[in-house]
Amino acid sequence: MLDGKKVIILGDRDGIPSGAIENCLLGKELEVIFSVTECFV
């Protein structure tokens, strides 16, 4: 599902931050092109 994809990560400071999602994708055949952790406070 993720192979070969250009991935946009929209993390959430009160949920799953983008860094944690990025760590899960390390070594996979994909490219993270944007990664941010939103903060709604």
Interaction of residue 41 with another protein, rule CB under 8 A: no
Size of the site for another protein (CB under 8 A): 30
Query: Nearest 5°: phi and psi at 11?
Result: -80, 175
Residue 8 Cβ, how far from another protein at the closest point, in Å?
Answer: 5
Residue 24 Cβ, how far from another protein at the closest point, in Å?
Answer: 5
Rounded Cα distance, 12 and 40, in Å: 8
Element counts in the chain: helices (H) and strands (E): 1, 2
Residue numbers of the site for another protein (CB under 8 A)? 1-2, 4-12, 14-18, 20-21, 23-26, 28, 30, 33-34, 36-38, 40
